[in-house]
Amino acid sequence: MTDKARTTLFGILKLIPFAIVTAMIVLFWLDDFRGFMLAIFFFWITLPAVVLSIVFFIMGLRWRDIWQRIAVVWGGLNLLILILYFLVQTPNQRCNPDIMAKHYEEHHTEMEELHQYVQSAIADSCEITLEFNGNKLEMFDVDNQDNYLHYGEKEAILHKDSLLLIAGLSQEEYDNICKQLKDMGCIGIEFSQFIPERLKIRFRRVGWGLYTYTILNRPMSDEEKASAMNNWVAIPYNDHCWFNFHGGAVGQESFPEKVKEDFLKKHKPW
């Protein structure tokens, strides 16, 4: 192999980490949660790629040959795209109590109507969890005491008909729930006929975290008020609603203490 061919080969190999980083950033743009999951799962590839990209970018600043120039330009573009990702996130990629409060004020009537609809539609002695991504079913859990069935993504779609039958839902009722959630900008519900006065509406997923509304068709009891005030995963909003945040395996597990305190200073629930 000639020196020129060897230089070309090494130059191309040095660009592979930049291509991997670009692919990671594109995945984050398309779906930040799945992008993060893939980055963690393939950390033995993604971590060296990030480190090597930084090293080759710094080395390339000397601009000794065309490959180093390409590395600098590519690395600069990756950095620019990453900065834009954090600056120009879509509304669904962020959430906080103020966003939840504004959304609730705009859609609380639809939330109450959904509560009534779900309560009348679900079979007695049954609990369900439904989650959608647009019109696509992402999760379907059913518990009717005799069976507890939990399915995500492809399995939920595959077993949907049998799950609907167990939950006592017709296809029309299922479609109506999906449409009502989509119309109010929410992604799912959690409901139990053992606590029919309560409906949990899944509002938004951000990374590993899930933001939800707990809706009551009656005023909160003193015990529920105290629980919402003292539980960091909850922020009471009014007599009929409180906000929830549940984290995942990575990141915060509840509302930060200061976030909850600052919100309650601005908004008194009762």
Statement: residue 5 has pLDDT above 80: no
The CA-to-CA distance between both ends of the chain, in Å, stands at 79
Confidence band of 93 (pLDDT split at 50, 70, 90): low
| pLDDT mean over 182-186 | 96
What is the arithmetic mean of pLDDT over 175-199?
A: 96
- Distance, in Å, from the CA atom of 222 to the CA atom of 207, rounded to the nearest integer, reads 33
Question: What mean pLDDT comes out for the span 175-197?
Answer: 96
Q: What percent of the chain has pLDDT over 90?
A: 49
Mean pLDDT of the chain: 88
CA distance 126 to 192: 6
68 pLDDT above the threshold of 70: yes
pLDDT: is 189 or 59 the higher one?
A: 189
* Triad 103, 107, 110: Cα angle to 5°: 150
pLDDT of residue 3: 67
Q: List all residues 6 or more positions away from 29 whose beta carbon is below 8 Å from its beta carbon.
A: 35, 81, 85
Confidence grade of residue 60 (pLDDT, cut at 50, 70, 90): confident
pLDDT in tens, 111-169: 999 999 999 999 999 999 999 988 889 999 999 888 888 888 788 889 999 999 999 99
The pLDDT confidence band at residue 88, using thresholds 50, 70 and 90, is low
**What secondary structure does DSSP assign to 212-256, as a single string?**
EEEEESSPPPHHHHHHHHH-TTEEEEETTEEEEEE--SSS-SS--
pLDDT > 70: percent of the chain:
92
Residue 129: strand pairing partners: 141, 190
- Check residue 90 and give its pLDDT: 54
pLDDT of residue 97: 95
Residue 196 has pLDDT above 90, yes or no: yes
DSSP string, 159-200: THHHHHHHHT--HHHHHHHHHHHHHTT--EEEEETTSTTEEE
